[in-house]
Amino acid sequence: MKLRKVTAASAAVLALALAATACGSDKKDDDTNSSSSSGGGSKIKIGIKYDQPGLGLKKPDGSFAGFDVDVATYVAKELGYQPNQITFVETKSADRENALERGDVKFIAATYSITDKRKEKVDFAGPYLLAHQDLLIKASANIAKGDDLNGKKLCSVTGSTSAQNVQKTIAPKANLKEYSSYSECIAALQNGAVDAVTTDDSILAGFASQDQYKGQFKLAGLKLSNENYGIGVKKGDTATTDKINKALEKMVSDGSWQKAVDANFGPANYKNEPAPKIGVLVK
């Protein structure tokens, strides 16, 4: 009788130990962002664009390239993650705030301009790049200023600040067409369905430098707005925001920022602005 009691107790202890081990195993393999909030977790999900050459591009072999990718990879390393622990998630312009709120990604580096309206829903680290809204037009086109777009077909991406800016202040009589991606806009420009594409000069330069487009397009050279690129973080996650700011400062100071600029924008002769100071927005 005594032996049976000891055996039952041992079995209970063993069951508890196995349950604890199982819970620990599940936590280790968990791919949620809450487990990676302080860095050093098993994985981290980062939002980027998939269709922006020079910034965020998913290549045919499944790898990723671009300035935003380089910045995100550097930041992730400072948070404690190696490249093989990063999962890049496509986040289109219209879904960035929702992706952060849902917890689909830990942070977003995807040509994400810092605006007062967006800061109501998300927090931003940075800025890490100052870009300017411009126009991409055919090499033979003659569009010298913003209001030359009145009466012409202009393409931008749904949810982008560029489209809103054109409608409100630059060319209210332009025939604005909003597509789901810049790749679609570039294709429309190539086949004559639109007369110009508007977004940040950094994005346009990336497309213009692609082999299949070289010589076909040109930047109009207009600084229609200042776009301060920031890294989007879920609202209220100040710990992660602070860590990312420190990582960005280090990236600039150790030369990695300029190296990434040269590698990704150099082929298009893009004239980038100097690295912006953290927390300082150019209006």
| 45: enclosing H helix or E strand | strand 44-48
Walking along the chain (283 residues) 10 residues at a time, the average pLDDT comes out as: 45 42 39 44 92 93 97 98 97 93 97 94 98 92 89 88 81 91 92 94 86 85 91 98 98 97 77 92 93
Task: Tell me what pLDDT residue 256 has.
Answer: 98
Task: Tell me what pLDDT residue 99 has.
Answer: 97
Task: Tell me what pLDDT residue 198 has.
Answer: 92
Task: Tell me what pLDDT residue 86 has.
Answer: 98
Gap between the Cα atoms of 205 and 217, Å rounded: 10
Considering the entire predicted model, what is its pTM? Answer: 0.76
What is the torsional sign of CA 55, 56, 59, 62? positive
Task: Tell me what pLDDT residue 161 has.
Answer: 73
Spell 209-239 as b/e; 16+ CB within 10 A means b: bbeeeeeebbbbebebbbbbbbbbbbeebee
Task: Tell me what pLDDT residue 268 has.
Answer: 65
Beta carbons within 8 Å of 269's beta carbon, 6+ residues apart? 205
Q: Report angle CA 99, 104, 105 to the nearest 5 degrees.
A: 90
Instruction: Quickly list DSSP for 49-95.
Output: -SEETTTEEE-TTS-EESHHHHHHHHHHHHTT--GGGEEEEE--GGG
